[in-house]
């Protein structure tokens, strides 16, 4: 029964954004900012570079999925000392 | 006049997601998928790893800002041969 539920159950798409916390130096962001400037783009500031992870989770309840994604971030994906994470469920 | 407009003008926050195109091998995503599995997370598939770039642009028109961000992606941020990009304006 569990197997068939999993097979027919809808997947949730989870998007995780991991960025450096404010105040933590972001050299990649600075490099992008300078490169865009030298290409002629104007009025750009505060460029921050981070990671983006998307995955499918065989779960139908958004709350459970979000809790599980937070657990993933804390245990593996983000370094919570210097990084923030944001989770979007679709 | 331009200067004062820029100083008082509202900034738009632009979020750019860069991911590998479907069909392009994503070893980082596979590594994350395996690592999550070995930590006991179940029902996870299709993990894709990408880049996330956020920046402030001193522009008030969302259409202009989006066009400019697309230009940045094509010229510098994304390798459009193997990568897709998505732009969100806030």
What is the Cα–Cα distance from B29 to A60, expressed in whole angstroms?
23
Name the band, by pLDDT with cuts 50, 70 and 90, for residue A9: low
> Residues of B with CB below 8 A from A6's CB?
43
**In this predicted structure, what is the pLDDT of residue A5?**
44
DSSP chain B: -HHHHHHHSPPEEEEEEEEEPTTS--HHHHHHHHHHHHTT--SEEEEEEEEEEEEEE----HHHHHHHHHHHIIIII--TTTEEEEEEE-
Nearest 5°: CA angle at B60, between A36 and B17?
50
Residues 6+ apart with CB under 8 A from A79: none
CB-based contact B76 A50, cutoff 8 Å: no
A22 within 8 A of A29, measured Cβ to Cβ: no
Beta-bridged to residue A45, according to DSSP, are B56
Task: Give the residue numbers spanning the domain of B42.
Answer: 2-89
The label of the residue with tokens 């500031």 reads A45
Q: What is the pLDDT of residues A16-31, one digit of tens each?
A: 999 999 999 999 999 9
Total number of domains constituting chain B: 1
Mutate to test the interface with B, among A14, A26, A43 (most CBs of B within 10 A): A43
pLDDT, tens digit only, all 90 positions of chain B? 444 444 446 789 999 999 999 999 999 999 999 999 999 999 999 999 999 999 999 999 999 999 999 999 999 999 999 999 999 998
Shortest Cα distance, chain B CAs vs residue A68, angstroms: 8
Largest CA distance in chain A: 60
- Pick from A51, A60, A10: nearest CA to B47: A51
Strands B44-57, B83-89: pairing kind: unpaired
Of residues A45, A52, A77, nearest to B56 (C-beta):
A45
SS3 A88: strand
**Residue A41's CATH number:** 3.30.1280.10
pTM across the whole model? 0.85
């Amino acid at each position: 029964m569990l197997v068939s539920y999993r097979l027919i159950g809808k997947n949730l798409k989870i998007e995780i954004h991991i960025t450096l916390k404010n105040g933590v130096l972001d050299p990649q962001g600075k490099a992008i900012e300078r490169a865009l400037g030298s290409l002629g783009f104007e009025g750009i500031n505060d460029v921050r570079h981070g990671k983006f992870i998307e995955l499918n989770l065989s779960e139908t309840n958004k709350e459970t999925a979000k809790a599980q994604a937070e657990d993933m971030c804390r245990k593996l994906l983000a370094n919570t000392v210097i990084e923030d994470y944001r989770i979007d469920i679709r």
